[in-house]
Amino acid sequence: MVRSDFMSTNKTVAVVLPAYNEAKAIGKVLAGIPASIGLMSVSAVVVDDGSTDHTAEIARRHGAKVIRHLTNLGAGAATVTGMQAAKVLDADVIVTIDADGQHNPADIQLLVECLLDGPYDVVIGSRLLDPAGMPASRFAANLLLNAVTYLVHGKIVSDSQSGFKAYSRGAIEAMALSSSGYEICSEIIGEIYRKNLRYKSVPIKAVYTDYSKAKGQHFLNGINLIIGLLMRMLRRA
């Protein structure tokens, strides 16, 4: 159940989708986003990160608000742009979700209700709490990145690299994010720790298709992410 103090039509949820060349998948993701949760209205904000396909056109066709980066700035930069847009829209709850179809948009309600029932500042959708169907290489890579995130930021969570999260507006305003690439996920975990934000991880089942696996982090991206996180730790030392 959604808490009664949020059962009001003047409360809103903004779902942020960072997207780069996601024309093949984004329409289905947007179609699955609920129009409301309880009496809270839900809107979608797509940040088109310099796509060269029809991502923006498809997003608009599905009623999403679209913000375009003229060039590809990275997943982190697109996430931050979407969070800033959600604040401008005066959203009470902000959800981030991948645009490649890996996450089930029906789980948005699960994360939002958990956030409000806690109450929590951040709820993390964790693939590793329900890893059935996750490729073994992805599972191992995520465990490694959890360990590196702990070394860098001092906070251990079950799925540090999940892009599927729900935030209170206060959490978004409290965090100071500067990462432009995939390291944004680890930086968010660090900000949860530094700002003493209340958080919870809940199990989600990821959908692994050939397309979503091809669009995800590759081995070289993972190595670059680890190097970037370790460099961040050395700069703080």
Average pLDDT of the residues in 116-127? 96
The residue among 132, 114, 145, 112 whose CA lies nearest residue 207 is 132
Is the per-residue pLDDT at 233 higher than 60? no
**Residue predicted with more confidence, 4 or 8:** 8
* Token reading at 164: 């599927």
DSSP 6: G
Beta bridge partners of 96: 16, 165
The residue among 207, 21, 211 whose CA lies nearest residue 106 is 207
Is the per-residue pLDDT at 18 higher than 60? yes
Q: How confident is the model at residue 226 (pLDDT cuts 50, 70, 90)?
A: low
Distance, CA of 122 to CA of 111 (rounded, Å) = 9
Is the per-residue pLDDT at 48 higher than 80? yes
Domain ranges, residue 53 = 4-236
Q: Please provide the average confidence, as pLDDT, over all residues in the chain.
A: 89
* Token reading at 147: 């360990």
pLDDT tens, residue by residue, 87-113: 999 999 999 999 999 999 999 999 999
In this prediction the pTM is: 0.87
First CA to last CA across the chain, in angstroms? 45
**Residue predicted with more confidence, 144 or 122:** 122
The residue among 222, 218, 220 whose CA lies nearest residue 143 is 222
Q: What is the pLDDT of residue 74?
A: 95
In a 13 Å sphere around the CA of 53, the CA atoms on its Cβ side amount to 11
Q: What is the pLDDT of residue 231?
A: 65
Asked if residues 19 and 54 have their Cβ atoms less than 8 Å apart, the reply is: no
Counted domains in the chain: 1
Query: What CATH number did the domain enclosing 225 receive?
Result: 3.90.550.10
Distance, CA of 48 to CA of 229 (rounded, Å) = 25
